[in-house]
Structure 1
Amino acid sequence: MSLLATAVGGVSPMILDGFDFGVERVVMGLFNGMTYGLLAVGLVLVYKSSRFVNFAHGSIGTFGASVLAFLVLDLKFPFWIAFVVAIAAAGALAAGIEVVVVRRLNGRPALIGMIATLGLSQLIAGIALLLSSATGLKYPIAPFLPTFYIGTLEVGPPHITMLILGTALFVALWWFLYHNKVGMGIRAAADDPDAAQLEGIPARRMAALAWCIAGAIAAFSAILVTPTSSNISIEGMGPELLLKGLAGAVIARMASIPIAVVASLGVGLVEQFLRSNPDTASLVNVAIGLIIIVALLSQPALGRAGKERVSWRRVVAEPVPAAYKENIAFIRWAPRIGLVLVAFISIGLAYWVTNETASALTNLIGYALVGMSVALLTGVSGQLSLGQFAYAGIAAAMSAQAVSNSGSWVFGVFCGILSAAVISMLVGIPAMKLKGLALALATLAFALASVSWIFRLDFFLGNGIEPAKPTVWDYPVEYAKDYYLFSLLLLTIGFIVTDNVRKSGFGRSLQALRDNEDASRALTVPARLRKFQLYGLTGALAGLGGVVIGHSQTQLTVNSFPSGASIDVVAIAVVGGLTVTSGPIIGALVIIGIPALYPLGIFGGAILSMVWLAIVIALPDGLGGVLMNWRNRFYDMLARRRGIDPVHVRLGPATPAVSPLQQALDLKGLMDGITDLDADHVVPGTGAPILTINQITKRFGGVVAADGVDFTVKHGEIIGIIGPNGAGKTTLFEMVAGFTVPDSGKIVFDGLDVTKASPENRAIAGLVRSFQDAALFPTLTVRETLMIAQERVAPSRLWWSMLGVTSAENAKAEAAELLMARMGLDAYADRTIDELSTGTRRVVEIAGLLMLSPRVLLLDEPSAGIAQSESDALGELLLSIRREFGTTMVVIEHDLPLLSNICDRMIAMNLGRVIASGTPDEVRNDPAVVRSYLGGDSAAINRSGLHVVEDDEDSSVSLKKSENNLPVPTV
């Protein structure tokens, strides 16, 4: 059927400062914005159910578009029937991903989910290309719809379909999610799966349904946008379009569908206005990236470092036990022999392969170096960067330009690496307070902006440059075989630096920040400085890889460093193993080496992506981790043959019958030679206050967490703080320790106003806090945790770590060994914190706090999770600390008998206010305290399971100990 064509004339552009704000631009911006809105809606749905960004969202849409093209063009299906089938197929694919992939990643970090979707994106894109390979540049257009013009703008069937069906879809989706029981079930399951399950809502089924709806929406968008793209291809749903959908989703806090749609319309308008001016046409990705970063920074709850309770992996592979090396010659010599063999084979290849193969191997080395930067950043710090290859491109361009202008190849390489490091730090600045979404999205935007704008500047690559070849001792390295040997040297340098950093105190502090940032900062680890240094180091490492790649080519252009290559280097790091230094080399052999030596085509590429995905799901430590595991099993077998028990060697001595809490009671001479902690013989409770809390207030929206809290703590006192849940006790500690800034009021420590001081600086000064769960660092051992606690007296230095200098680390290890021996922790030295009981973790935590030489200890529910039989031992331990070291303590606790036994004074809080203060007996007998716990209704008290005792002589209300040590109200 022929299309009806009409025209609407008389529309002229409206130019202002070079920008076109005319009707045509506005209409096109709104049409594009609706497309981005559909993408944003799908991203919001997935994020709400799975708590990570689905980078395969665009590819799922591409798959739906390819299904429609295949059905209509190859099988001759009617368009609208194929339209429904294609959308259903994409929805089914997305639901299948949730069931088969996402659920298997439950309990692992959110960034692993994002990495898995990167692999899925490539796999699905490959399948889509296979489906649509016969369609060429053709794509079916919806029939029975007219075409008309607004000025010179053609508004065809795809636009009309988007306007009618897109609007209907938005309305229907809003009604479904906010007024339909199933839709409300999806929202409830997304907000709190556990609570939804208790209410009878099948949370897993709701998550699969959310993914299904998101997949269908992605297909709907791809089907409608493909015919309108300048390049008529089903590959139109790439990273660039996904970034525009992400902008609307992030502005909507990854939560509100209506806001996501409106924000996406705004993104579409901004894009069109920028494109209307030749001077800003290439800045679209830059502008959208800035929009995303500003949106993240203005929404702390979305982007700020969260407290994921997930299973991270250890950064350093389990070392070979010393007993194996001492008793088995093969184990002692095997690593050295293996290293010689690897070096011999790697160097020998230069004299065996062709120049073409040598060039491919050089490219592989460059990718391996960039992959090392990803593994170091993601494996050690738990952050995902999608811009590492862009840093490599900047280093290559700057190096080539510097060599051309200075004639010095060494100076050029230095400039290239330095520029990559500086740019990496600058891009990472927004992620200093944020992680998860922040760095991934900021670096994705940077990667896209590099290709569309930065690399095209004459200062970088322009229309292309010819990089110079290195010269070593006046010998020009021009042949591919020679350059391969040179790149092998650079790979060796990068490998040594990476391995040194992983095993150093610097790497350990980054791992601690990844596991538990608050606990790390409480132990004086400078979080922002460490992240800043890491961004610089990983940028430099990526830059080294870029230099290797750049100078190996005869012509450097924008196409030499495509944004998609940043995904390839993530694949290299994950496939090889994030926890093994040699992992990226193994990953590069698989991801880069196989296709380079044996062209795979579309089908082979899809298979390779499937392998990547399988490794992410089934092998958390990658292929390198598998090899390390095989090595350990082989070594264990050799040890058994020599009569060595691997279990005893690896786990250490048997766990003692007496708990560490019981063993740690004698503290005399404990810290001698370890820290400068020493008893101050001032009589407790006398002298000037060491800590003053002056009218501090904190509100979270309409909730008042602290309302004019005011009290002082004198030197050597132990003050207890009690109150029901929600009283504001922990928020008070957060403010006193520096993790939360009060809205008003002042905190004075030892005469200094520390209201705005960081947690690290307060801990260095001696104001130290603990945490309720004593979680510490799950992937670190007890020995490593106590070494982290020494960052105050011996902070790890990046340069010494890179060079492998271990003198300071050896001293830390000796101090940790001494402290573990004195506190009965020897048997747990090589156990990870995650393996310990709560009581043992608490002793480790206290030991770490003592190494900070604290003057005031803020203890948040120290008895939480400890067996009742150990409560007395904990109390005696705290009193011993005060007696031996003169340490002042402020203790939040629900165990009133424990608190009564150790406190000089007690403070009661309720609803953010101090409601009573005095001796433990005075506070327990205060009627306001009892009411805050149990209310004033005797019937309610009886229903609580406690006993009401009437006393004719005293009608006051008080809390007394019952036989089971619970507070019992007396009326």
Structure 2
Amino acid sequence: MSAADTILAIDVMGFQIGIDRLIIGAFTGLTYGLLAVGLVLVYRSSKFVNFAHGAIGAFGASVLGLLVADWGAPYYIALPVAIAVAAALAGGIEVVVVRRLAGRPSLIGMIATLGLSQFILIMALLINSDGVSGFTFPKPPFLPSFTLGTTPVGPPYLAMLILAPAVLVGLSWFMRHTRSGLAIRAAADAPDTAALEGIRAHRMASYAWAIAGGIAALSAILVTPTTAGASLDSLGPDLLLMGLAGAVIARMSSIPIAFGASIAIGILEQILLSNPDTRGLVPVVVGLVIVVALLRQPTLGRADTERGGWRRVGSEPVPAAYASVRGILVTRIVIVGGSVLIAISLAYLVSNETAAILTSVAGFALVGLSVGLITGVAGQLSLGQFAYAGIGAAASAHLVEKTDNFVLGITGGVLVAAVVSALVGIPALRLKGLALAVSTLAFALATTAWVLRLDIFLGDGVAPAKPTWWGYSMDLARDYYLFAILMLALGVFVCANLWRSGFGRSLHALRDNEDAARAFTVPRTVRKLQLYAVSGAVAGLGGIVIGHGQTTLTVNSFPASASIDVVALTVVGGLGLVIGPLIGTLIIIGIPSMIVLGIPGEAALAIGWLLVVILLPDGLGGVGMKLRDRWYDWLAARAGVDVAVARAEPDVTQRSPLQRSAELTGLFAPDAEDLAAGPDAPPLLVVSDISRHFGGVVAVDHVDLQVSPGEIVGVIGPNGAGKTTLFEIIAGFTAPDTGSITFADRDVTTATPERRANAGLVRSFQDAALFPTMTVRETVMVAGERTRPSRLVVAALGSPYQDRLKAKRADELIERMGLGPFANRTISELSTGTRRVVELTCLLALEPRVLLLDEPSAGIAQNECDALGDLLLDVRRELGTAMVVIEHDLPLLSRLSDRMVAMNLGRLVASGTPDEVRNHPEVVSSYLGSDHAAIERSGSHLAPVPTIPAGTP
């Protein structure tokens, strides 16, 4: 090696770090920067990650390859044409697909773009099956080549150096200095305000998508000649991951930061590629960079950023009046029994070749069941389920070989897949679907490129053993198919039990409204880890079914693209249904396996499942559920049931739930004595010197507060006084900067909201949103988790005992609170006032010692405030529950409170009896006089006093 080479290349722990590597990495990073810029533009306009971004770029590269290599067009004429085609494709996607998904969860948008990526890559292969390869792809002409150290630097790298910065500068100028660019930024940052200025947000989003698509095409065109033999199938996902890294580091907002970070990612990639032992680690290292960047950011991807948009799949619950209809019972038995009988009979009716296909269908359905758990139930997107399937299969094959015990091999493979899934999911515990989707995408790519290639897994291939039954080896495909059906039945049994158990309800609650679920004692961290482990175990079981059914098991048996396929089949079948993956697998996996479709047929299948996502939110299974409901209605009508009455809406023109509950005496303990504690009782809740700053804003400023058992303390203050922030701190949702909180003689300053609620310190929320897709009964049963928590193993085995106790207690509370007509209605169907009553019912189901009520009268009709006051006083009298109440209806609060405190600018400015606080000079000056409208809400029996303007938080 020459002296020049020694200077240019330095060996550090096996990595070749030299000027040539750094420069090549920087050149490559320029193209990744362009990808990142496009992702930022799309995210800012549509608020989700476009997983088809890399595929759009690959499609543009395919067009250029077709024009130049096949049709002989000049490169610099074909280049703008290919970019324009990709831009038109991306803009069309926004118009045709993205706009139709408005109002649905961002996760659905990401799933739709997964389908688009598959379709676009197939179309790219269709128009140019051999033109997108690093060996054959056209290179920019008229640019020189030279050698840097030992590394050749060709025209593609010089094109990156020239074009990437030019595009960045041009885009920056366009976004900052042109009318269209400013309109795109305005529509992305504040669409409602932009609409008032005459800016059409949808049109601007289309422009943003088109620009991003053109940039993605340029990136793919520049980088493809440098990727050696990379195929089109891997080009899209790999490009996407590299672009995501820079975009996430830039918090999906800053184009310059995204560009700079991507250059660093390109250099990191080249360093990893310089060591043969770490070449397969590129995706996992980049994935770790992305997850760390997410965890360090205060808002991007946080779990509290999105609520609502989810649907209750199928229809409303089957009316209770249908339970005794014999025809409905027979229908259920016939459907289940008939399906099992047909599945078993196929083993004796089909050929070994068809049996092998059906075995693969069973394995994919099991992996799809794992997607249904993690996405359909919990609302998180995992793109690594097939990676867990491969790991489970490899572990099982090795264990069976070493122990000659198939049961031990299956158990071990399932456990290994569960542990790996839980470990990969740990970084996403506090984050929404973006973090889990990205980390599992990276893991899926790394599993294919590196993990499964290790000798401890599949290496160059293993020959898995076949199971034996009483000494009979299931070597024939038809015999093995029976084993696959048995494993599928086991997976369906476990998943169905988890779906309808308290475990499943807890996950539904976390998906719909994580803060409310935690306030109801749902253990977020434990439940999510359990979810990741269970979904990994089910995916591992699917991998075992697939793996042991093959003669030779290799890394090609578990491609990264299959993880997208199982998401597709789950969505097509019905994301919120246990049977959804079974239906989807028969269509997405079964049909192509039995019928040779070719590339056009595969494209039609991909566009078909995309249409299901757009047009059928509940999937094909949801259509089946609607047909089932019509059949049940017909059977019920024949049996003499009045279907109109059974499915009737509750009569909301009569007395409200508050009015009905106020008429009940002995609401919770029929002969209870007044349990309110005396004034000399030691404090139950002690808040000492609590402060909280948000940047330069002082939200809570050295607040002290004590609450005795059975005492009701009212909190008043103008908008921005810090009342709700104080509640957030006391309940554990916001950490204080200074001070401590003691509850029942225990320091709970660092305790989670779940632990505080379990101890009896429970809060409500201003919006009373609760869980939109759950019924009133299910919502109250979620609150019952505090007294009768669901256990994972018990739920998986289907034991109904704990659920029956929770259901009984929920029904008692629902009737006592006047909610009987609403029991089977979803929360999203209820008025704000009725949701308030449901929330209060849930709070009482928690059996709290201290209730933190945040504006309990908000949304309640004026003539019902007296009933609300009576109800709260009944709760205190019969249960001894202490309360801290934030309320703007001062007459109501004065009637409730034993003591009142006033806040202003984060400080307590007055404390004492209601009369003393109302007449305190600083309180009067803070409120600037009286608002008689607020006083009149609770009637005229109280004299006018200074009040907070109605609607103040």
TM-score (norm 2): 0.95
Correspondence 1:482 to 2:494: no
CA distance in 1, matches of 2:259, 2:950: 54
Superposed displacement of residue 86, structure 1: 1.5
Amino acid at match of 2:528: K
Decide whether the 8 Å contact of 1:229 with 1:236 is kept in 2.
no
Superposed displacement of residue 489, structure 1: 0.8
Amino acid at match of 1:58: G
Decide whether the 8 Å contact of 1:360 with 1:596 is kept in 2.
yes
Partner of 2:826: 832
Superposed displacement of residue 580, structure 1: 1.7
Superposed displacement of residue 548, structure 1: 0.1
Matched residue SS, 2:662:
coil
Note the alpha carbon deviations across 1:475-501, whole angstroms, 9 max, x for none. Answer: 101000000011011111111111111
Superposed displacement of residue 643, structure 1: 4.7
Decide whether the 8 Å contact of 2:24 with 2:157 is kept in 1.
no
Partner of 2:129: 133
Superposed displacement of residue 571, structure 1: 0.6
- Equivalent position to 2:375, from 375, 378, 385: 378
Amino acid at match of 1:914: L
Amino acid at match of 1:147: S
- Equivalent position to 1:846, from 818, 840, 843: 840
Amino acid at match of 1:17: M
Superposed displacement of residue 926, structure 1: 3.4
Superposed displacement of residue 696, structure 1: 1.0
Partner of 1:5: none
Matched residue SS, 1:200:
coil
Which is further off, 865-874 or 241-250?
A: 865-874
Note the alpha carbon deviations across 1:365-414, whole angstroms, 9 max, x for none. Answer: 10000000001111110011111100000110000000111111111111
Matched residue SS, 1:302:
coil
Correspondence 1:732 to 2:726: yes
Correspondence 1:27 to 2:23: yes
Q: How does 1:78-89 map to 2 (within 5 A)?
A: 78-89=74-85
Note the alpha carbon deviations across 1:438-463, whole angstroms, 9 max, x for none. Answer: 11111111111111221111111111
Superposed displacement of residue 682, structure 1: 4.7
Matched residue SS, 1:238:
helix
Correspondence 1:620 to 2:632: no
- Equivalent position to 1:17, from 13, 17, 28: 13
Correspondence 1:366 to 2:360: no
Partner of 2:175: 177
CA distance in 2, matches of 1:316, 1:622: 9
CA distance in 2, matches of 1:342, 1:882: 54
Matched residue SS, 1:712:
strand
Partner of 1:579: 576
Note the alpha carbon deviations across 1:118-143, whole angstroms, 9 max, x for none. Answer: 00000111111112136475332222
Matched residue SS, 1:831:
coil
CA distance in 1, matches of 2:363, 2:822: 42
Amino acid at match of 1:277: N
Specify whether residues 857 and 650 from structure 1 end up closer, same or farther in structure 2 by C-alpha distance, changes over 3 A only. same
Correspondence 1:466 to 2:463: yes
Partner of 2:407: 410
CA distance in 2, matches of 1:852, 1:80: 69
Superposed displacement of residue 657, structure 1: 0.5
Correspondence 1:112 to 2:108: yes
Specify whether residues 758 and 281 from structure 1 end up closer, same or farther in structure 2 by C-alpha distance, changes over 3 A only. same
Amino acid at match of 1:21: I
Q: How does 1:550-565 map to 2 (within 5 A)?
A: 550-565=547-562
Superposed displacement of residue 322, structure 1: 4.5
Which is further off, 872-881 or 114-123?
A: 872-881
Correspondence 1:880 to 2:856: no
Specify whether residues 816 and 367 from structure 1 end up closer, same or farther in structure 2 by C-alpha distance, changes over 3 A only. same
CA distance in 1, matches of 2:909, 2:838: 34
Note the alpha carbon deviations across 1:186-243, whole angstroms, 9 max, x for none. Answer: 2232223223223433222221111111111101101111122112655563212211
Note the alpha carbon deviations across 1:660-709, whole angstroms, 9 max, x for none. Answer: 11112246432249xxx976635454322221111111122332222212
- Equivalent position to 2:713, from 705, 709, 719: 719
Decide whether the 8 Å contact of 1:464 with 1:555 is kept in 2.
yes
Superposed displacement of residue 734, structure 1: 0.7
CA distance in 2, matches of 1:640, 1:683: 56
- Equivalent position to 1:310, from 308, 317, 324: 308
Specify whether residues 358 and 924 from structure 1 end up closer, same or farther in structure 2 by C-alpha distance, changes over 3 A only. same
Superposed displacement of residue 859, structure 1: 0.4
Q: How does 1:660-671 map to 2 (within 5 A)?
A: 660-666=657-663, 668-671=665-668
Correspondence 1:751 to 2:745: yes
- Equivalent position to 1:590, from 575, 587, 592: 587
- Equivalent position to 2:61, from 41, 60, 65: 65
Q: How does 1:298-377 map to 2 (within 5 A)?
A: 298-314=296-312, 318-327=316-325, 329-377=326-374
CA distance in 2, matches of 1:317, 1:415: 39
CA distance in 2, matches of 1:876, 1:639: 42
Specify whether residues 513 and 887 from structure 1 end up closer, same or farther in structure 2 by C-alpha distance, changes over 3 A only. same
CA distance in 1, matches of 2:682, 2:600: 77
Amino acid at match of 1:741: A
Decide whether the 8 Å contact of 1:315 with 1:379 is kept in 2.
no
- Equivalent position to 1:289, from 287, 290, 296: 287
Partner of 1:3: none
Q: How does 1:154-169 map to 2 (within 5 A)?
A: 154-169=152-167
Specify whether residues 188 and 912 from structure 1 end up closer, same or farther in structure 2 by C-alpha distance, changes over 3 A only. farther
Percent identical across equivalent pairs?
A: 60
CA distance in 2, matches of 1:613, 1:704: 49
CA distance in 1, matches of 2:12, 2:747: 52
CA distance in 2, matches of 1:586, 1:403: 32
Decide whether the 8 Å contact of 1:317 with 1:580 is kept in 2.
no
Partner of 2:269: 271
Partner of 2:253: 255
Note the alpha carbon deviations across 1:695-746, whole angstroms, 9 max, x for none. Answer: 1111223322222122222332222222222222111111100111111110
Partner of 2:937: none
Unaligned runs of 5+ in 1: 1-7, 935-940, 948-958
Matched residue SS, 2:815:
helix
CA distance in 2, matches of 1:491, 1:946: 64
Specify whether residues 280 and 719 from structure 1 end up closer, same or farther in structure 2 by C-alpha distance, changes over 3 A only. same
CA distance in 1, matches of 2:235, 2:655: 62
Specify whether residues 510 and 317 from structure 1 end up closer, same or farther in structure 2 by C-alpha distance, changes over 3 A only. farther
Specify whether residues 609 and 931 from structure 1 end up closer, same or farther in structure 2 by C-alpha distance, changes over 3 A only. farther
CA distance in 1, matches of 2:227, 2:245: 20
Superposed displacement of residue 641, structure 1: 4.7
Amino acid at match of 2:718: P
Amino acid at match of 1:847: T
Partner of 1:955: none
Specify whether residues 26 and 963 from structure 1 end up closer, same or farther in structure 2 by C-alpha distance, changes over 3 A only. closer
- Equivalent position to 1:697, from 677, 687, 691: 691
Amino acid at match of 2:496: D
CA distance in 1, matches of 2:315, 2:474: 37
CA distance in 2, matches of 1:179, 1:330: 70
Matched residue SS, 2:772:
coil
Decide whether the 8 Å contact of 2:932 with 2:944 is kept in 1.
no
Q: How many residues align?
A: 939
Specify whether residues 338 and 214 from structure 1 end up closer, same or farther in structure 2 by C-alpha distance, changes over 3 A only. same
Specify whether residues 468 and 318 from structure 1 end up closer, same or farther in structure 2 by C-alpha distance, changes over 3 A only. farther
Partner of 1:56: 52
Partner of 1:950: none
CA distance in 1, matches of 2:566, 2:234: 23
CA distance in 2, matches of 1:612, 1:559: 24
- Equivalent position to 2:807, from 805, 813, 832: 813
CA distance in 1, matches of 2:189, 2:861: 33
Decide whether the 8 Å contact of 1:10 with 1:151 is kept in 2.
no
Matched residue SS, 1:478:
coil
Decide whether the 8 Å contact of 2:28 with 2:157 is kept in 1.
no
Matched residue SS, 1:14:
strand
Superposed displacement of residue 829, structure 1: 0.9
Matched residue SS, 1:687:
coil
Partner of 1:198: 196
Specify whether residues 360 and 135 from structure 1 end up closer, same or farther in structure 2 by C-alpha distance, changes over 3 A only. same
Note the alpha carbon deviations across 1:518-545, whole angstroms, 9 max, x for none. Answer: 1111111111111111111111110110
Correspondence 1:892 to 2:886: yes
